[in-house]
Amino acid sequence: MGDNPWRLENRADFETLLQELLAPLLPHYSAGGARLSLGAFAAVYDQGAVWAEAFLRPLWGLAPFWAGGGTWPAMEALYRKGLRSGTDPAGEEYWGGFSDSDQRFVEMAALGWALVTAREVLWKPLKEEERQAVWAWMDGINHYQCPPCNWMFFVVLVNMAFKKLGRPWNKERTGECLSYIESCYEGDGWYVDGQNGERDYYVSFAFHYYGLIYAQWMEEEEPERCARFRERAGVFARDFVYWFAQDGSALAYGRSLTYRMAQCAFFSMCAACGLEALPYPVMKGIIARNVRFWMEQPIFDNGGVLTIGYGYPNLLMSEQYNAPGSPYWCMKAFALLALPEEHPFWALKEEPLPPLAPLHLSAGGHMLIQRIRGQVFAYPVGRRLPHSHVHMEEKYSKFVYSSQFAFSVPRSVRTLEEAAPDNVLAFLYEGVVYTKGVVEDGYVWEDNEPSEDGDVWGGVTVEWSPFPGVRVRTEITATSRGHRRRHLIQSEVECQAWDCGFALPGWGEGLAVRCLKGEGSPDVIKASPNTNLLHPKTLIPAVRYEIRRGSQELISDFSLQLG
């Protein structure tokens, strides 16, 4: 976008980038300011919530921008006007009332934080009746149910804002939600996302992000809880740093990846809250490199508006809860703008990642993380619980995930090309492609004793079934150049299976795939366009096996061609 070199060395650099990202939105606000229309496709929630989301998500960046001393008169006036219009029940641009699990509750978190953090810009200029309307609209969250997951923090942040602004707040409901959040903590800095059972980026840009906001504003009232939130974030940082590659990219894993640079939001909030979870120059480097990485990708439309997708516009990989304004969750990466220009953080030179082990067991994340030439490769156990979100098998249950290649999602399961089955053992039976979904059992293991060839061994073992009549025990072992898979198969039918590697751009160069045991032959799957998250056209190297009735053992080796 533009001519900004994205140096991201000082506060002015981050301010400039924030304004470059948000300026293309200005022509799309309604006359009353509350409706921001960025596209015609739909999400599961109603249009009022779509407008509220698009309007409120930029506040994750604007609030710290204003709090740290930034000025943008046009946006300031627009957001005060839109706040009045969106919360006026008698107005034409009212965002609407509520139901249980309402999407508006999600967006209230940004508004609550903004009203407290940037109150001189957003709250104090309002008339008393306008403040009352804002409070009444946000208080809706106290009268409806939120799903038992990271959404509990929305209740907490809204009521925290009420308390800090001197408005009536629901202390009992807040306490119940904080107790639930405590029940989600599993140790080692990791939360589990409630009913979803997920350990993904929501641990970083939701649980810890909101916990640090709470710790910043509620330390006087609840010093012990706030200290716990900060301590847990510090522990988590030492594990989460393994998700980042040296080039600024990060592990492509889990849902909500369309939020892109929100990947580094946790470290940005650590800086904003004065928590040196890692040395400040290291955190500054993680943030700057990740933001630069995303600014180098074709993720904008021809008007400069962020699109749904990951490495390029792609609705195929989107969630049911992604509306046109959803990508602006990425504004969470700009929390560090809350630091004023004179803060010593801005004078620091960014540093590279600290020395990291080539193989790291993330017990809290239920995965083994490998580093090869600065890139990240993660071997998760996989999902144990079914869920209604889109492409859950692809986002959580592949054998390996990477910062370098990303993963693919299917267009259909009719053909291998449309299924785009990267990093899975794909069975073709009676015209349908089957892969690993929910695992029946699994664990991660690590052995720091070197093998005969000098490798540091570690891996993942899972038991699963692609369809009734076939059972598989897969043992994955990390090697110095990639990994090896051993599949023990019990089958009641004859079929074919493809042990697939990464989806690779171009001619598929960069990965050697070999059959070490079994009736296997090399093959390459030409994946349907736009199935991979990072590259629109890919080839998937694989080993093709004949599956017989009874028991058999397959062993495949996947090694990166390092040159």
Instruction: Print pLDDT tens along the chain (563 aa).
Output: 444 467 899 999 999 999 999 999 999 999 999 999 999 999 999 999 999 999 999 999 999 999 999 999 999 999 999 999 999 999 999 999 999 999 999 999 999 999 999 999 999 999 999 999 999 999 999 999 999 999 999 999 999 999 999 999 999 999 999 999 999 999 999 999 987 778 999 999 999 999 999 999 999 999 999 999 999 999 999 999 999 999 999 999 999 999 999 999 999 999 999 999 999 999 999 999 999 999 999 999 999 999 999 999 999 999 999 999 999 999 999 999 999 999 999 999 999 999 999 999 999 999 999 999 999 999 999 887 777 788 989 999 999 999 999 999 999 999 999 999 999 999 999 999 999 988 999 999 887 565 555 565 799 999 999 999 999 999 999 998 999 999 999 999 999 999 999 999 976 678 899 999 998 999 999 999 999 999 999 999 999 999 999 999 999 999 998 65
Question: Do 11-347 and 366-560 fold alike per CATH?
Answer: no
Half-sphere exposure for 4 (CA within 13 Å, toward CB):
20
Residue type, 180: Y
DSSP secondary structure letter of residue 155: H
- The DSSP H or E segment spanning 228 is helix 223-240
Q: Which of 346, 343, 220 is nearest to 288 (CA)?
A: 346
Q: Are 344 and 217 in contact (CB under 8 A)?
A: no
Is the domain spanning 11-347 CATH 3.20.20.70? The answer is: no
d(CA 177, CA 165): 20
Q: Are 498 and 428 in contact (CB under 8 A)?
A: yes
Q: Are 459 and 445 in contact (CB under 8 A)?
A: yes
The model's pTM is 0.96
d(CA 536, CA 293): 17
Helices 280-295 + 265-272 axis angle, to 10: 140
DSSP secondary structure letter of residue 85: H
Give the contacts of 460 (CB within 8 A, at least 6 positions apart): 367, 368, 379, 380, 381, 399, 442, 443, 444, 445, 475, 476
Helices 128-138 + 152-164 axis angle, to 10: 160
Instruction: Dump strand ranges (E) for 86-243.
Output: 185-187, 190-191
| 538-547 vs 495-500, strand pairing mode | antiparallel
Give the contacts of 470 (CB within 8 A, at least 6 positions apart): 427, 489, 490, 491, 492, 493, 495, 547
User: Can you give the residue ranges of every domain in the chain?
Assistant: 11-347, 366-560
SS3 category, 462: strand
| CATH fold for domain 366-560 | Beta-galactosidase; Chain A, domain 5 (2.70.98)
d(CA 539, CA 527): 6
DSSP secondary structure letter of residue 317: G
Residue 525 tokens read as 């799957």
